[in-house]
Each structure stands twice: as C-alpha cells, then as structure tokens.
Amino acid sequence: MRLAVLIFLVLGFGLLRLPLETGLEKAHQAAFFRTAKLDLSLRERIGQSNFIAALSGFRAPIADILWIQAHTAWEKTEYGVMARIFDNVTSLQPRNFYFWDNAAWHMAWNGSVFAFENPKQPRLAIRTKEQREFFDLGEDFLIRGIRNNPDSYQLRQTYALFLEQKRHDECGASEQYRLGMRLPGAPPYMERAVAIHLARCPGSEKVAYDQLRNLWLRSPEERKPTVITLIKALEKQLDIPEEQRIYKSDR
C-alpha cells in the first residue's frame, strides 16, 4: 500500500517539478548550455557505445577521443575521414569554438594544400576543384561554428583570415573583424585589422582612411608600421589636403 502511495507521490513530484525543469532547461539553452543535439543520426555516425556514453553525461570526453582520432587521421592525410570525424565532434561539442576553428583550419588550409599538391592527381583542373571543395568545407565549419558560438571572437578572426587568404576577399575579412572586435575578450588589434583590410577593399578607401586616422590619433600604441604605411599611402591616393594630413608629403 505504501509503495502505491509512493508511486503517486513520485508522479505528483514530477508534475510539480515539470515547470521548474522546463524553465531551467530554457534558461540553460538561453545561456548557450546543452545546445548539443544528440539525435539518432549522430548515433549512426558515432556508434552505439559512444552515443550511450555521450547521453550519459560524457559528451566531452567522447568528443576528445574522436578529435584525437581525427588527429591520427591527419597524420595519415586522410582528410575525408577527418571531415566526418570533425562533423561528429562539433555535433557533440557545439559550444567549443576550438573544435570548429581546428576543423576549419584542417579543411581550408591543410586539406586544400594537400588537394592542390596531390601528386596522384595529374590534372590541374581537378586539383583546383578539390582545393575549392576543401575551402567550402572549411568555410562551412566556420559559418556553423559562428552560429553556435556567436560570442566567439576567435571564430570571426579565423573567418576573416580565411576570407583574406583563401577567397582574397578583403571586404569580407574587414567585415568579420568588425563583427568580432566588440565580442568579449577580443584583442585590440582586431579594430586595426578592420581598417587595414578595409583599405584594401575597393571603394572603401576613404572610410578606411578615416578609421586609421582615428586610431592613429587615439593612441601611440596604435601607430604600428602597417598603420603608418597605409595612412601615408591613402593620404596620397585620396589626395588628402596637406593641412589635414598626418604625414606631410615631404616626409
């Protein structure tokens, strides 16, 4: 009889805590906790025992183990395997910016170079195509990473670097630095980088010059060689009146 009453008490307690649990879960997710979606597709990708371990509160160690496997695959230049593993790792740990960053680096930098210099592929056109596929893979990791970690300046920085070095998109790079420079923990040089890349973005030279000038006037710390060089070049290029120039034309 007491057991029967206990069952009712447990169910009653369940009803009582239902709004508390639901509210707390929402609060966790709003604070970017528990955003990993552990669904059946992941179970098929990582296997049953890994899935059960991940479900049982060992998501992070499983992700680390898989990431180490990815590292091993990298040593064997198995970039296809790496891409699959990184997909699983980022599914398990979507809030770890480092995994997205690392995955993007391996795909967009290492993988693309490997594909372009693949001695087993004699045709340049195919090598170039495969190189671009790796660029796309890397960019995809960065975009998804930023979506899961909107507060990560590191991912914005890496994306900016990607756009600059792989897509040769200075305007895009500048925009990414601009989006990242106000995020928590962002280093001061990101603000400089906004202006530096903007200066190389066709049609934005004047805006870039204004920003560089403001930085130069703000503090001697900002007067890095790149900034000085660009200010001089832009003052000349934009034909800034002599009296408004920081660096007079005879210097």
Partner 1 sequence: MSTTPIKKRPFFSPARVWAIAGNTLTELVRLKVFYFLLLFALVIIGSSLFMIQFTFQQEFQVLKDASLGAMTIFTSLLAILATANLLPKDIEDRTLYTILAKPVPRFEYLVGKLLGVFLLLLISVVCMTVVFVIVLWLRQTTVLAQVQAEFSASPEDLAVKVREVRAAGLVPAIFQGVALIYLKACLLASLTLLVSTFATSAIFTTIVAVVVYFIGHLQSTAREYWLAGGNAGWATRVFTALISLIFPDLQLFNLVDDIVAGNAVVLSLFLKTCGLGCLYIIFYTLAAQFIFVKKEL
Q: State in angstroms the smallest separation of the CB of 104 from partner 1.
A: 14
Q: State in angstroms the smallest separation of the CB of 179 from partner 1.
A: 18
Report the alpha-carbon angle 77-79-83, nearest 5: 150
Q: State in angstroms the smallest separation of the CB of 238 from partner 1.
A: 28
Counting contacts by CB under 8 A, is residue 47 touching partner 1?
Answer: no
Question: Dihedral, CA atoms, 117, 109, 166, 83, nearest 10 degrees?
Answer: 100
Q: Check: CB of residue 100 under 8 Å from CB of residue 141.
A: yes
Report the alpha-carbon angle 65-105-225, nearest 5: 135
Counting contacts by CB under 8 A, is residue 205 touching partner 1?
Answer: no
Counting contacts by CB under 8 A, is residue 61 touching partner 1?
Answer: yes
SS3 track for 56-80: HHHHHHHHHHHHHHHHHHHHCCCHH
Q: State in angstroms the smallest separation of the CB of 67 from partner 1.
A: 8
Question: Of the candidates 45, 95, 206, 223, which one interacts with partner 1 according to CB under 8 A?
Answer: 95
Owner of token pair 């709004």: 19
Counting contacts by CB under 8 A, is residue 32 touching partner 1?
Answer: yes
Q: State in angstroms the smallest separation of the CB of 212 from partner 1.
A: 17
Owner of token pair 């899961």: 148
Give the number of residues written for the chain. 251
Whose Cβ is closer to partner 1: residue 56's or residue 244's?
56
Question: Of the candidates 28, 147, 168, 182, which one interacts with partner 1 according to CB under 8 A?
Answer: 28
> What distance in Å separates the CA atoms of residue 184 and residue 148, rounded to the nearest whole number?
15
- Name the residues that contact partner 1, by CB under 8 A: 2-3, 5-6, 9-11, 13-15, 17-18, 20-22, 24-25, 27-28, 31-35, 38, 52, 55-61, 63-64, 67-68, 71, 93, 95-98, 102, 185, 187-189, 221
